[in-house]
Chains A and B, each alone.
Chain A
């Protein structure tokens, strides 16, 4: 590790957290309907869609609206992917996707996962990318943020019946938050060299006299929302390692910033919503500490390099360079990948598969923790709220009162629903990966043997269930087992978690908000932050330790014993 490398990590954190504070305030203003600079456009959408802006929704109505919208878009995207051959903007005449791949891809983009079992350049048209995928990148991100807004409202007052209006939230978030930032970022990316074009792929004659097809398309805008909305679905297969997605170190920093900023701004917005900024900052601090540990840990593992190379005297200076772009270097690469797995982005600018075992274990573990550092836009926030509820429930009794969070009592119903959510995530990750590894089809998908292969499979199920979308490259994901299995994992991981969380919000909203006193469990300050991190690791991560031990940990110790796979 070099000081320069650590400074780079510090720079990313400073830029992100510095921006998250004002952005959080702005997001709270959006949720509260105080941002109105595109009011006529906003009203136009409501009129067009027949939305009654003043209608307040119960948690059930809110969840139904969210599910309905997701279902319709899922079906629409499935149709686009199947029929893309007949649709416009398909200069390469790419054929329609197979049913199972279309199912997997539609599930992936509806759930903000962006798991890509397909090869973008060969299996999806520019039109489908833009109309199908990019639209979902906005919508699924906005839907996640809307759910977070609903959860935030539950804590604002006593005896609330409503959590807001889903359609209004969705419109405002898209119009005032996602679109403006993406447009600015897209322009910056175009300036730096990203293509934004509807022209066919370019055929180039190389110096060696051969010919090469260079894929281009409307990549810049998709790249912007890919990061901002923690989507991660690359326009190109190489994702952010591709020079057209991520031309230079500056765009790398920009993209890294984009994929973190909303995740960290949401707890700040929460602090403004509940009129207690310290509450928001405490949640943000817990998220940031976990991510910082991950960034430094992965960087340390990669900077140390491969012990076999070192022993053989062939080690490159600076550490393990395998799978990394020389344009970015090791600290920027590890920070990007850790950020993209600490959020549910799943974008990569280097290949986790090629990391050292411990370097690769960091992204895996961050996902297993439940995507809370800071997690997907919206989903990271409400997941951290679930862990905050667990924290006050377990440790809150130790101050001699029945547990409460922000004045709302945490009781049987909330614990039941929160436990249900955590159970579903655990079940899909462990049962999915465990089952796949005993089937011939599952084992056949693996590119490597031994613990490395186990990590590939575990990573795939973790990534899908936690709606991350990144892959331990090497696994062949387009098989019936993985297309359907991971597709189901993505849908359950998203909605079977989000709906219990909305139900918790509905239940908490209806409760009286108890005033704070000296006897109240403090949910700000270092003590609570430490407790929250501890609970996230123990309740969110410990159940994966046996599997992780057989994966990256075993590989680490074997590698040091000179054994590779």
Chain B
């Protein structure tokens, strides 16, 4: 997969580019989006002026200068964190951009006439234009196939190099700009203006250029800005208290105290966390149309999962032989195997496999055998040879073809298989019913455990299937889902979503067809398949490039991981404050009240060293946490209470304790170099 390749956390090229970008990001106008770091920049500038003034006045300026440098580094580390996160996204975007190279489109003047076209640059195409795409051409923009069938290589977008079929009508009619036609031709109606195609949006999203703050991020920013103001009040008023106590504080000292207290750690990492969350999704080959959708994924309470392909393998497999009375099971198995000889479907192969496995029956195809293929009319298949005739097929079809009625025992067996959620096939040889084969929808191994993990996170799973109620109930029980929608239609899916949302729950689903569009739009998280129709892709708020419906579960986990990372670093950042008081307060008050040295529990060497150590810790912790912000805190499906306990211990208690050790170590390191001793 083209962009599923792993980009190492600290790729050299990305780091070099990010180092440059982080300086450009110091521009106060753009930095204003991040109130805490913007404020830190203002303080840094102020401290620099003080240092410069001291230097010009030939006063000792070493301490103000060092503080100013480390305050600037704090700002720089924060912008660097954002730049690295963006850089990783940009690396992915590069491969996408290559696909968006200048293309000439064949604009049809008359859609019915494929001969006369006007070569037009792709950027000039407008919505509603009709273009012709022929083998070897690059599809100029997003569109809907209105005529033709062709195979398209979509690897530019999906990373999957095997071509897919695109055709007019049905659920495979959407084509994406930037992909190229391998065979045949298509007439395509353009559905997106230049610059707003799927590829353009993807590039913008992974680059983080159009990133808008999500609702939770905005609220968190308000909290951080509020905390900044609170500590500003605390530090500014300290001038008054100090004045009364007969002491005055220098600006660098107050600046150091203030910057250490305000939540610079989370303030510096917040946008990197958001970008990285989006990036994790992209790496997973899922594109979200907004960060809001990723947040919503973490909040989802109910998952609507398609049975076929997600919960079960999607093809039924033979799981048992049920002979009619007076028939040996081995004879039945042999007849089944013979009747399936010409059946190349997975079902047919599974019957042969079962016969081989149970009775070591592996019949060769007899000479001169006539294969009767399955047809929708007869609903039977089989083989005739040497006067023998073997048939297998739908129970009623087989019985009808033989002109017989089923006896009570046989009917009961048919009903029992149906109740178990399986499909019975009748098998006849030479005009006589020999028995039944059970074809079972095999539930994927491990899926039940997965659902129970989801349940412990408070997420209900709902199986959606076109099967009848009896079959659906049986598979639902086997897979361990909480609920199911049998005989699903687009309408009853929509109704179900509305009902669940009415109870105040958030719903996620995936779908691909045009008739899924209303439900995709209604769901809080709607994941459309890349192979789906344009309507479905427009209605959902995420697109899965691999068209793999099982991913819904991982999408929820990625959403949760994003929120957990944000919460963990916020908690850590705020908990850090306690240690900084113990470092800085004794240091700044000790000249007035030497007895307050008793509060210097870390035994930091000198006041200057104590203050500087706290400032250095405060700056370095941002860099130290960049990998965690980018990688995300590991998500464990262990239930909210256990998760909280764990994270609170690690990031809450850890946030209180870690800086004590960190500041002490930095102080010792400074001492080793005789700095401020």
Contacts and interface: CB of A to CB of B under 8 A. Distances in A.
A binds B: yes
A416 interface: yes
A397 B563 CA distance: 5
Given A400-B643, A412-B218, A422 B230 contact: yes
B585 A545 contact: yes
B596 A397 contact: no
Contact of A437 (B244, B257, B458): B244
A557 interface: yes
B585 A412 contact: no
B234 A518 contact: no
Interface in B171-212: none
B567 A557 contact: no
Interface in B288-322: 295, 298-299, 301
A558 B593 contact: yes
B233 A415 contact: no
Contacts of A458: 241
B498 to A, nearest CB: 14
Nearest to A549: B585
Interface string B232-259: 0111111111111100000000000100
B644 A527 contact: yes
B77 interface: no
A398 B230 contact: no
B639 interface: yes
A549 B577 contact: no
A525 to B, nearest CB: 7
B599 interface: yes
B217 to A, nearest CB: 10
A402 B643 contact: no
Contact of B503 (A395, A450, A515): A515
B589 A549 contact: yes
A491 B229 CA distance: 22
A176 interface: no
Contact of B241 (A395, A401, A437, A557): A437
B456 interface: yes
Contacts of B235: 546
Given A394-B571, A398-B571, A430-B233, A522 B241 contact: no
B368 interface: no
Contacts of A443: 244
Interface in A82-97: none
A130 interface: no
Categorize the interface residue count of chain B: 35 or more
Contacts of B505: 514-515
A411 B216 CA distance: 7
A401 B561 CA distance: 9
Contacts of A531: 648, 652
B480 to A, nearest CB: 15
Contacts of A419: 222-223, 225-227
A514 B458 CA distance: 12
Interface stretch (A248-256, A343-351, A536-544): A536-544
B238 A546 contact: yes
A560 B597 CA distance: 13
A19 B258 CA distance: 45
Interface string B570-606: 1100110110010001000100110110110000000
B98 interface: no
* Most interface-central of B215, B229, B233, B567 (chain A CB within 10 A): B567
B661 interface: no
Interface in A46-83: none
- Name the prevailing secondary structure of the B interface residues: helix
B219 A398 contact: no
Contacts of B38: none
B397 interface: no
Nearest to B298: A400
B100 interface: no
Contacts of A438: 240, 243-244
B560 interface: yes
B222 A543 contact: no
Interface in A412-437: 412, 414-416, 419-420, 422-423, 426-427, 430-431, 433-435, 437
* Most interface-central of A390, A416, A420 (chain B CB within 10 A): A416
Nearest to B557: A400
B299 A543 contact: no
A476 interface: no
Contact of A431 (B233, B578, B635, B643): B233
B566 A519 contact: no
A549 B599 contact: yes
A402 B560 CA distance: 9
B222 A415 contact: yes
Contact of A554 (B240, B593, B639): B593
Given A395-B652, A412-B215, A434-B240, A519 B459 contact: yes
Contact of B581 (A401, A427, A518, A542): A542
B568 interface: yes
A545 B581 CA distance: 8
B39 interface: no
A521 B233 CA distance: 32
A400 B245 contact: no
A558 B235 CA distance: 23
A511 to B, nearest CB: 9
B570 A397 contact: yes
B504 A416 contact: no
Given A402-B299, A423-B230, A518-B456, A553 B640 contact: no
A302 B242 CA distance: 28
A521 B560 CA distance: 13
A185 to B, nearest CB: 39
A139 interface: no
Given A398-B651, A518-B457, A434 B230 contact: no
B234 A426 contact: yes
A242 to B, nearest CB: 33
Contact of A527 (B244, B298, B641): B641
Contacts of B457: 400, 518-519
Contact of A547 (B220, B231, B237): B237
A530 to B, nearest CB: 8
Given A434-B238, A438-B244, A454-B241, A522 B233 contact: no
A401 B220 CA distance: 14
15 contacts: A393-B220, A395-B648, A399-B644, A401-B560, A423-B233, A427-B233, A430-B234, A433-B241, A513-B504, A515-B503, A525-B641, A527-B645, A539-B574, A550-B238, A557-B595
Interface of B: 215-216, 218-220, 222-223, 225-227, 229-231, 233-245, 257, 261, 295, 298-299, 301, 455-459, 503-505, 559-561, 563-564, 566-568, 570-571, 574-575, 577-578, 581, 585, 589, 592-593, 595-596, 598-599, 635, 639-641, 643-645, 647-648, 651-652
Q: Which 5 A-B pairs have the closest CB atoms?
A: A519-B458, A397-B567, A400-B560, A434-B240, A517-B458
Given A398-B571, A514-B301, A553-B599, 19 more contacts: A415-B219, A422-B226, A430-B237, A451-B593, A453-B244, A458-B241, A517-B458, A518-B455, A520-B640, A521-B644, A527-B641, A531-B648, A546-B234, A546-B581, A547-B237, A550-B241, A553-B596, A554-B589, A557-B595
